[in-house]
Amino acid sequence: MKFNTKTIHGKQKHDLAYGAVMPPIYQTSTYAQSTPGGHKGFEYSRTHNPTRQALENAFASIENGNYGLAFGSGLAAIDAIMKLLKSGDEVISTSDLYGGTYRLFTRIFEGFGIKFHFIGMQNATNVESYINDNTKLIWVETPTNPMMNIIDIKKTATIAKKHDIILAVDNTFATPYLQQPLDLGADIVMHSATKYIGGHSDLVMGALIVKDKDLADRLYFIQNASGAVCGPQDSFLALRGIKTLHVRMQRHCENGKAVAKYLASHPKVENVYWPGFEAHPNHDIAKSQMKDFGGMISFTTKGNNYEEAIKVVERMKLFTLAESLGGVESLSGHPASMTHASIPKKEREKTGVVDSLIRLSVGIEDIEDLINDLKQALG
């Protein structure tokens, strides 16, 4: 089955009771048993829920995995991965990553005795020098949030395999429409399904997808034991979102390309970060592991002036200034004061998250309207 068919039919069955084409929202916490243990496969909705299960099957299908797990947020999904580890273990992570992930790693899991190395992975071989006997996980975001760095998943997977280390890839920015990390050798794919997967800015959710049964069993145990699951209503919405993922992504990519090119030609813009440019340092890797370049773009205004950048985002009308990304509507953000404020200024500036950096999530509106909005905002 091809990807565009999988988004609609992948691992889905019509409802057994009445043949409903969409799975019903099983808004129930529990299930009747005829005798203790005598049930129809569902006991309690933290453990299993039919609507969530339909969604988890869809997750597995679109990422070419065997097992999918849905969580109450992207961070809850990352939290579940971290619970595979124990005190004394070490993690190598991309240094440029979502601020909330950095906060979870440094403010929660460092306190439990896990050591993190935040490093530039644009050259995958850099990872090898940080590996020791305690290294248990490599954490990769690609493209990174918000600098749009590209990490070579295949090369990193080869290194991880050689040393028997789990490789987890946050695929939130790319989505499986653009890249499928499990096929490139990753062990776990993670999503903030809040973003492109849901696609309509109407839910908060996380996803994990794996191929290996043993790893899936360990994660299912954590999902049930820690309990950070999502509800049936949100599961239904995410499932509905997945059915149009390929069509939305196609337009996000088209509009993203046009916006990136427009910004690059604007006299008030200093740098534009978008992996589709031939001048992007890892454009060749992006081309080889992604189908297209997505709708996420970051740029700086000339003079690295905080006030000027704030004025630009305030002037935008169609691009709504808001946290989050990946919805049908265009959003703008100021990472230094919003999504990445939890990373110390010195650390974030090392990766390029300066005060004049603006991040755009280019939506699927008419491109002429979007360009006109940027034109008037840049003045």
Contact residues: ligand P1T, CB under 6 A: 73-75, 98, 100-101, 141, 145, 170, 172, 192, 194, 204, 206, 323-325, 333, 339
- Give the nearer residue to ligand P1T in terms of CB position, either 50 or 181: 181
From the CB of 202, what's the least distance to ligand P1T, in Å? 13
String of b and e for 149-187 (b: at least 16 CB within 10 Å)? bbbbbebbbebbeeeebbbbbbbbbbbbbbbbbbbbbbb
Taking the complex as a whole, how short is the minimal distance between the CB of residue 226 and ligand P1T, in angstroms? Answer: 15
Helix (H) or strand (E) holding 229: none
Which residue, 23 or 326, has its beta carbon nearer to ligand P1T? 326
Between residues 12 and 141, which has the closer beta carbon with respect to ligand P1T?
Answer: 141
Query: Smallest gap, in angstroms, from Cβ of residue 358 to ligand P1T?
Result: 13
Which residue out of 67, 98, 262, 273 is catalytically annotated? Answer: 98
Q: Is 142 or 300 the residue whose CB approaches ligand P1T more closely?
A: 142
Distance CA 340, CA 181 (A): 25
Residue 120: what residue type?
Answer: G
Kindly tell me which of 10 and 146 has the beta carbon lying closer to ligand P1T. Answer: 146
Measure the CA–CA gap between 332 and 359, rounded to whole angstroms.
6
- Closer CB to ligand P1T, 75 or 259, in the complex: 75
Query: Which amino acid appears at position 13 of this protein?
Result: K
Cα gap 111→181, rounded to integer Å: 30
At its nearest, how many Å lie between ligand P1T and the CB of residue 360? 11
Residue of this chain nearest to ligand P1T (CB atom) = 74
Q: How far apart are CA 185 and CA 158, in angstroms?
A: 7
Query: Closer CB to ligand P1T, residue 50 or residue 209?
Result: 209
Catalytic residue among 11, 46, 115, 350: 46
> 């990136």: which residue's tokens?
260
98 is catalytic: yes
161 given a catalytic annotation: no
Given 96, 152, 170, 234, which residue is catalytic? 170
Active site residue 170: yes
Residue 154 a catalytic site member: no
Residue from 6, 52, 155, 195 carrying the catalytic annotation = 195
Nearest residue to 290 via CA among 152, 198, 123: 152
Rounded distance, CA 168 to CA 78, Å?
9
Tell me the pairing of strands 331-333 and 320-321.
Answer: parallel
R_g of the chain, CA atoms, integer Å: 21
Q: b/e string for 293-324 if b means 16 or more Cβ within 10 A?
A: bbbbbbbbbeeeeeebbbebbebbebbbeeeb
Alpha-carbon distances, residue 7 vs 228, 232, 333 (angstroms): 25, 19, 29
- Cβ 144 to ligand P1T shortest distance, Å: 8
Q: CA torsion sign, 56 to 57 to 60 to 66?
A: positive
**Which residue numbers are catalytic?**
46, 98, 170, 195
